[in-house]
Amino acid sequence: MYAQDPISPLLDAAHAVHSDHIPPATLAFQRLRLLDHLACLAAGYDASGVDAALSLARRWSGAEEATVLGTDTRLAAGQAAFVNAVRARALDFCDVISPGWHPSSSDIPVALAMAEHCGASGRELLAALAIGQDVGQRINLAAQAHGFFYRGFDSNVLGLFSGAVIAARLLRLPRESFTSAVGLAFDSGIGTFQHYQDKVLAVRIGQAMVARHAIEAAQMAQAGLTGPRRILGGENGFFRLYAPGEPDLSALTADLGHRYLGREATCFKPYPHCSILLALTDALLARRHELPRPRLAGSTLRLHVSPTMRMVCGAPYAPAETAEIDAQFSARYIVANALLRGAATPAQFTARAAREPAVQALAQRVEIIEDPSLARFDACRLEIRPADAAPVVVAAAYGRGWPENPLDQAALERKFMLCCSLSASAAMRRAAPLVAARINDLAQAPCVAPLVNALAGSA
């Protein structure tokens, strides 16, 4: 196999680099991740599944190490991160890296909880985020060299690598313990794509499990427990179990220590639904004034979609117990929502909105046709054929938010203020400007307490 496991140079670099040597532009990008993440946490503060997660985390906590954001409640670091991750992931508004890794929804709960627990500075937190994301993205690129999905596993498994690196750095583990921390995290495994297809709350909980496992793996390594060493290249290592083909090992070390990956691949979402559907919402909202809305009742609607869109978001629209998740992952709902409402904010993705009879009826009339010629995952084409008028065709790809069509900082700041204004947390509604200022100054902060206190409304 390999003289040494391919993860070794990644962990050597992750352990050795000093926080002061991370480029300023890289730290600035990590601040944007933090701003967007806290926006998503604010918006998902009282979403379905949060109360259960908080109740369980309280039962499972035996220490007060880190804060449940938006409150003054303190739990064990892993449990605080668990709750914070559920809130951030709930509305599917969080950032994403192809093919479906939501890095910040697990990375940032790990980083904030461990920085608070360990007394780390703001720069150390941002540096850990940058280094952890770099490790995860390098593994992602190597694994995807000859395929897209991870053999049916949820690609958020990558968060076990990035999260364990973040936690290990903030715990200041010695080099030999780094491998055990990452190996123990990898050994826990995480999730499959089945929870997306079945539209269940496991979609929201999976991210939280990643965050908790990453912290607990680093703490176990600190306590002397050892984990697998042949993490990527072993006979039952990551590449053999998860990767869809032979990995490209050169992707692991290209410019390692000089270029920190993440910004070039991250999608910050303008809409609270699956990233595969961003282009569809964009195109329909942009052309809504041209579309034959008065004739929709007598129109045929056919949506031609990529194989990926069909697999993840092409199921019949039948909102059930978790109707909001049905809506977030339904191409049919996206069409009906954009045509009838002309907006895509959190208000259009509540359980009540997802069940609205007129929208549900139109969504169920959309015919999905898989088209293998649509190679990009978010490529699609909607054909609206009224009975008494010329057809209208709307093609979409490269949705706003993806790196090829990115949101700028001003758009992310508007998203943050909107999400805070809608939050069920009074503290986050009141403190939004102060929180934004704390994030902006984080690289100079001696600790994260001012930011955490601002989020709790106790600054």
Domain spans of the chain?
Answer: 7-270+404-455, 275-396
Burial of 71 (0-12, 13-18, 19+ CB in 10 A): middle
pLDDT score recorded for residue 201: 86
Listing DSSP states for 133-182 in one string gives HHHHHHHHHHHGGG-SSBTTB-GGGHHHHHHHHHHHHHTT--HHHHHHHH
The structure tokens listed for 194 are 């089945």
CB contact burial 216-226 (16+ within 10 A = b; e otherwise): bbbbbbbeeee
**What are the pLDDT digits (tens) for 423-456?**
999 999 999 999 999 999 999 999 999 999 999 8
* Model confidence at 9: pLDDT above 70: yes
Those residues whose C-beta lies under 8 Å from the C-beta of residue 431, and which sit 6 or more positions away, are 420, 454, 455, 457, 459
pLDDT score recorded for residue 293: 81
Q: What percent of the chain has pLDDT over 90?
A: 86
User: 116: left (phi > 0), else alpha (psi -120 to 50), else beta?
Assistant: alpha
pLDDT score recorded for residue 187: 94
d(CA 333, CA 345): 14
d(CA 75, CA 61): 6
Rounded to the nearest integer, the mean pLDDT of the chain is: 95
**What are the pLDDT digits (tens) for 54-82?**
999 999 999 999 999 999 999 999 999 99
Q: Which of 396, 152, 377, 353 is nearest to 275 (CA)?
A: 377
Domain 7-270+404-455 has CATH 1.10.230.10: no
* Model confidence at 1: pLDDT above 70: no
pLDDT score recorded for residue 152: 78
User: 136: left (phi > 0), else alpha (psi -120 to 50), else beta?
Assistant: alpha
**What are the pLDDT digits (tens) for 217-236?**
999 999 999 999 999 999 99
Burial of 176 (0-12, 13-18, 19+ CB in 10 A): exposed
CB 11 within 8 A of CB 182: yes
**What are the pLDDT digits (tens) for 150-166?**
787 888 899 999 999 99
Listing DSSP states for 386-440 in one string gives -TTS--EEEEE-S-BTBTTS---HHHHHHHHHHHHHH-S-HHHHHHHHHHHHHHH
**What are the pLDDT digits (tens) for 398-428?**
999 999 999 999 999 999 999 999 999 999 9
**What are the pLDDT digits (tens) for 376-398?**
999 999 999 998 888 999 999 99
* Model confidence at 314: pLDDT above 60: yes
pLDDT score recorded for residue 149: 76
- The phi and psi torsions of 345 (rounded to 5 degrees) equal -115, 175
Fold assignment, 275-396:
60s Ribosomal Protein L30; Chain: A; (3.30.1330)
User: Mean pLDDT, to the nearest integer, of 196-224?
Assistant: 92
* Model confidence at 457: pLDDT above 80: no
**What are the pLDDT digits (tens) for 320-373?**
889 999 999 999 999 999 999 999 999 999 999 999 999 999 999 999 999 999
Local structure of residue 264 (DSSP, 8 states): T
Q: What percent of the chain has pLDDT over 70?
A: 99
pLDDT score recorded for residue 2: 66
